[in-house]
Every structure is written in structure tokens, then in C-alpha cells.
Amino acid sequence: MNALLWKLRRRMLGAGIARAVAGAGAPRNALLMYTVGAFRAPAAPTTHQNIAQQRELARALGESGHEVDVVDFDERRRGLLRHDYDLVVDLHPVERPFYDGHLRPGAKRICYITGSDPEFSNAAEAARLADLERRRGTRLQPRRRCAPFPRPVLESFDAFFYFGSDATLATYAGYRLPPCHRLPNHAYDDVVPTRPELRDPRRFLFLGGNGQVHKGLDLLLEAFAAEPDLELVVCSPFRAERDFARAYRRELTATPNIRAAGFAEVKSAGFRELQAGCGAMILPSCSEGQAGSVSVALSYGMPCVVSAECGFDEPEVQVLPDCRPGTLRQVVREWAAQPLERLAERAADSLALVRRAYLPAHYAAAVRAALAQTLSVPGGTRAAPAPGAPGGGPR
């Protein structure tokens, strides 16, 4: 009930601020710009990794001697702030940030980055949409556009916390970044993995969020429509993107080897059953930080076949050489032809990767180590480069 009341209030009045969510009474103050909703109903289940991560980050900030307030990352009502802050964690840095005028001398600022550079991501989605229009004569709306980071602003932070791989970090090559700290987009440790022998190498799962073309579902629907001996299970909110659902109506509704399940709660009994028979989760996305749907699949012991842009570089995850339709068809045919014993080995390797590097405890340790290192460095509130100076000016 509390969660429903909060959602109604947010719709009417805006999210507001959650005060002292951790470290109540601590001598210093920290502002976390992420989502207030993760803290309005703290007993509610964590249906997405970022909810658990926000709560863990707040606990870490509290343990470091800060009383933690939380606002939504796009909050702009400065009147909500009652403190000057010693530390700010900012999810999406902008010019003239919400907390301008509310920083104490020597305050530290951390940019917390969950995706690729927006300019890279926007261009990648635009290229996918243009390619689809060339292939099918259909123009669809972009779904994942994000405001670019002002270069001097991003460069002025004291630390850069990010999810992803070297490929993710490479999208920021045009910036002079502050010290970078990689965080794992963790899997779940409270789901029961599927027994490897139940997996069928001929059946694949697509698991993704918003932006079906961005995630590569269009490419997979076309590939599997041409591979009737292979199966694709689609778990995504594709119905909410009406132009996409219309463009791919035949593949989604009248192609026998494609099962369009739609959105699925990943801890539900229904999803557990859907994923259990799949031999791999496949995600040819054009841009991510570190794709949470890959972490989800690994949680269940499901091997993953993904684009380099998904942010995983461990050998247990197979990376596609590219996402061209011909490449996708070749890769899924080769995967489907592997012996069951080899698939079982890959499933076991996937689960071992989770236990080695992608449990919630690994995120908790990584974020505390990054925070400790950031707070141990003297100084703070680095000045933004002046236009025309090295590292300054327009991109």
C-alpha cells in the first residue's frame, strides 16, 4: 500500500526527496541523485538490480560517515535541499546541476554512469533505425535517446563510477575522465539455477527492456524467421512500442518458431519456466553500460551470446563478431549444432562466473572500495576546464 500511495503522490506532485535514508545523524551529508522510489518502500522486493544497488550504495555512503538524502536524478526543485553537502553522487551530470550552491568547501562529486557515452548510444540507435528502414522500408521512432553530457562538466568530477567493460569505457575516449572505478552489474543470488541438462541448444531467449531496435530484436526476428528449425522466445515490452509491433506483426504473431511472451518479471515462476529450456540468451544490442538482462540470464546458469556493446569481456560470455543478419544466423546455427555435453559445460561455466564476480556481494565490495579510494584523495569539487583550455570547450 505504501508503494501505491507513493506512486500516486509522485504522479501528482513529483518525487520529492527522501531524507536520511542511511547514516542518520552522521557528521557529514551526502546527496544521492538516482531514484527516490527505491527508498519509499524499503521492504518491497528488488525487481531490478538497480533498486538493490541504490540501497547498497546508500548504505556504503552511510558507513563512510554521511547522512544520505536521495532525489530523482532529474529533480530540479532546489528548494527541497536543506543541507550543504560534503558528497554528491550524480547519475546523469548536467550543466548548472540541481545542487549548485549546496556544496561545502572541499566537497567530492562522483558521476555514476550506467551506460555508454550518450553521443555514442544515440548515434548507434540512429544507425540501427536507418538500417532497418533500408531493409524493410519502415521508419520507427527512437526509444533510447539521452541528453549528451557536457564535456567540461563530466571532466570536472572527482571520480567516475561505471558499469561495463573496456568497450564501454572506450565510448568516453574523447573525455579527460577523472579516476575511473568499474562496478559489476550484479546477478541475483536468490533464484534457483536451471539444471544444465534441461537446456536445448536449438532454443534461444531474447531478454531486453525498452528500445527493441536498439536491443536488436528486429535483427533476431528476421534471423529466426529464416531458421524454422530453431526457436526464439521473446521476453520484452515490445507491445508498448506500437510502431515496432506493427512492423513485425508477422514475425511476432504468425511465425511458429517464435514465441512472443512479452514482458516478464524475471523472478516469477512464469519466467523461470520460459528460460529453463533455452540454450542461450542472445542480445545483439548496439549500446549498453553492462546489460542487466545478461546478468539475469547468468543467474539462472544460462549461457549468453551478446554484442561487445553489452559490456562483458569474460571468456564465459560469447561475444558476437558483429550484429549483421548473416552473422547472427551463422552464430545461432553453430550454437544449435553443439553437443548437449558442451552446452552443459557452458551452463556450468556461466554459473561459475556469477559466483566468481557477479553476486550482489561483489557490487557491495566494489562500490565500497571505489568510495574509499575517492574519499581518501585530498581536494574536491574540481574546477571545470575553461573553454579553449586542454580538455575544455565544445566536443
One-letter-per-residue 3-state SS of 206-256: EECCCCHHHHCHHHHHHHHHCCCCCEEEEECCHHHCHHHHHHCHHHHHCCC
Q: Give me the pLDDT at residue 14, please.
A: 55
Q: What is the mean pLDDT of residues 159-174?
A: 97
Domains 2-113+149-183+361-376 and 196-357 share a fold: yes
Under the banding of pLDDT at 50, 70 and 90, the label for residue 7 is low
Closest Cα to residue 177, out of 189, 191, 166, 161? 161
- Map residue 258 onto helix, strand or coil: strand
Residue 65 has pLDDT above 50, yes or no: yes
The DSSP 8-state label assigned to residue 183 in this structure reads E
Q: What is the mean pLDDT of residues 236-259?
A: 98
Q: Give me the pLDDT at residue 45, please.
A: 65
Q: Give me the pLDDT at residue 382, please.
A: 57
Under the banding of pLDDT at 50, 70 and 90, the label for residue 78 is confident
Q: What is the mean pLDDT of residues 285-313?
A: 98
Q: What is the mean pLDDT of residues 353-379?
A: 95
Alpha-carbon 313 to chain mean position: 16
- Map residue 378 onto helix, strand or coil: coil
Structural domain spans, the chain: 2-113+149-183+361-376, 196-357
Rounded CA separation 229/329 (Å) = 12
Give the architecture-level CATH label for domain 196-357.
3-Layer(aba) Sandwich (3.40)
For the stretch 313-322, contacts whose Cβ atoms lie closer than 8 Å and that sit 24 or more positions apart, written own/partner, are 313/165, 313/166, 313/167, 314/353, 314/357, 316/346, 316/349, 316/350, 316/352, 316/353, 317/350, 317/353, 318/280, 320/284
Give the architecture-level CATH label for domain 2-113+149-183+361-376.
3-Layer(aba) Sandwich (3.40)
pTM for the predicted model, two decimal places: 0.91
Share of residues in the chain with pLDDT > 70 (%): 91
How many C-beta atoms surround the C-beta of residue 210 within 10 A? 13
Q: Give me the pLDDT at residue 325, please.
A: 93
Residue 207 has pLDDT above 60, yes or no: yes
Q: Give me the pLDDT at residue 392, please.
A: 32
How many C-beta atoms surround the C-beta of residue 105 within 10 A? 8
